[in-house]
Structure 1
Amino acid sequence: MIAIKDRIGNAKAKTIYGLVRKYGTVSKQLLQEQSEMKGSTLTRLLEDMTADGWIEEVGFGESTGGRRPILYRLRAEQGYVFGLDISRIHSRLVLCDLSFRKLDSRVWKMTASSTPEVLIQHMTEAMEHMLDIHGIPKERLLGVGVGGVGPLDRQKGVITNPLYFPSTGWNDVPVCRMISSRMGVPCSLDNGANAALLGEYWTDAPEERGEHVLYIHGGIGLRSAMLSNGKLVYGAVDMEGAVGQMIIQTDGVPHREPDGNYGCLESYASIYALEQAAVSRLKQGRESALRALVDRPEQLKFEHLVEAIHGGDPLTQELFIQSATYFGIGLANMLNMLHPEKVILGGPMFNTQNMYFETATQVAIRNTYYYPAYQVTFSRGKLGEEALAVGAAVMSAGQLTD
């Protein structure tokens, strides 16, 4: 099994590959300025990397007085990576080339039968099928990246004890070993928020990338990640779900887990919180289009709320605005501490309708201390529900420059 970091053996070649990946299409002059390499060294590296298939010439740039410069870009079909999103509602697989263009994908709804063994078996069988139908030789597959629900152990490739999975068996799961043994390639693991942030960052055009970016995923719980100076920020422990424990009301409602904080953000702003609020209102006798979607209030799920809000149901709109207001307060706290230049809000709470995103960002701005001197851009990203899986593929391919 070839380690991904060993695919490009020369440290200087890794530097050049990283610069070409960063800028997309780049001239030799810019590569020399950024790498500070001698012209002869750079020329030899470019020739070798072109011959080896890692980069390719793509024409000529504009002349600045002499000969027009040759332009280079990555050769996307030099290798391929799989990205896996292992989450509580749906899990997803994508196949990408080295430009992170999605070639194929597959989604599984997580149910009581979605144990680790069953899911990994389905995923690896789908990987083999994708390689076959796209005519990709096995030696072109570089690796597999996995974005999972934390907490997890990145170094050991183990999902440790995630909450709220619909099936049993997800404690201490060595997902990387299970996948590598079946596929014969390296596998890497990180939490889903980090993976999603990488995906959004690297699929943006180079001129649109922010160097200080906050990502928050809104789903059954809240998950966050931070990029500073273009690099992921890691804490002493896996901290993906910590944002949900931010206290926004000291005497507030108890968390659904015994060790959760009273009045924490996740108890007001999450799919679970929205579902519970809707159930409570229906039990109180409030009128709503939700009543026609279920036999009993306890049967309400987030998908029913999305259907009702698209239908203009006043009660559901009220619940979404209230929850999004709480989320906006929590987001303002993050902005006042971290001052990112860009915030990406992903996950079903933001991608299934517009109201939650619009309300939350408006509330956040009104409570951001240095605004308008401090300007921040809000986005729902470009990848939607595929951000995590594509980001996991990015994470795997990123090891080429390690």
Structure 2
Amino acid sequence: MLNVEEFSISTLNCLKKVTGDSPVILHEPEFSGNEWKYLKECLDTGFVSSVGKFVDRFEADLAAYTGSKYAVAVVNGTSALHIALKLAGVLPGDEVLIPSLTFVATANAVSYCGAIPHFVESESVHLGIDPLPLREYLKSITEIRNGQTINRETNRVIRAIVPMHTFGHPVLINEISAVAKDYHLALVEDAAESLGSYYYGKHTGTFGQFGVLSFNGNKTITTGGGGAILTQDENMAKHAKHITTTAKIPHRWEYVHDEIAYNYRMPNINAALGCAQLEQLPSFLESKRSLFKKYKEALETVSGVSLMEEPKNCKSNYWLQTLILSEDFQSARDSILKVTNDNGIMTRPCWRLLHTLSPFQNCPKMELPIALSLEQRLINIPSSPSLVS
């Protein structure tokens, strides 16, 4: 059995078979389509801000691609989640179930609503919320009163659940949806990382009352900064559009705003970039799948490390390729991170579990043994589609 140093070097050498010897970052955007053309049109016409045809087009293209009836473009994925939770009925003082194994934006958006994150367990196949222990946990700590789920330990309403599709891999969303239904919870999908991912042939972000996407610079497609709210409800879509554009009532010259709202609208110039990127999404996804196959082949010679593969009945976008260390080698995580980064291969651990961060240490949580184990065994490796071009 290899020691930690030998194991780390072996893993590095396997990655270099795919990445080569030149420095490589974790994920970079690829601009090889109509980006310059569409951006130039924005500059030539002067429509660079909140008005312009590309926002409408981007929303329509997103809806068509994902199979959602409506899409509302906003400035980033966090603002999309904030508005989705607000429209789903989350109120100050409510609790919202979220995984501890997620990016901090999930918990921040809950907090923006004045609500309290309630951290729940993940499972090791999909890396998302595990519905089985969650159901047993809710059975033990809650009761239903007047159609609301009440946490008996805090006497607060548990209002919603936010499953997050980790690194682009779909969670057990049908089973989570069943839990949400049985416990009267609004279901808001954090699909920020999973554009191009499907569960039983249905796109992520379209199972719940709302879904949210992100188009940050490191996502599968980018608008520079940006996000979107997906919904099947026309009235909710109209309300989302209204309150993300400062709730201004349309008028030729008057400034009348009929509710407290947010300046979350996506600028036309960002949407132009998104339209060009979305045209190339199929080729990006194909490249990412090819990259997965290359990594998998390269890593076959090293025992103790595997590559995260799309779960059964899922089609993953492989946004971030992910190493999973066996429990025997979890102590090698930091050594691998050091030796890869020292050699020009950018790697990153998964996020620190959110319940351990100072803003959230007093939030309610269930037992999290799997999440704690995954935190020590996951490493993201370079995932740009250009690595196979």
Q: TM-score of the superposition, structure 2-length normalised?
A: 0.30
Larger radius of gyration: 1
Q: Pick 1 or 2: higher relative contact order, CA cutoff 8 A, min separation 6.
A: 2
Q: TM-score of the superposition, structure 1-length normalised?
A: 0.30
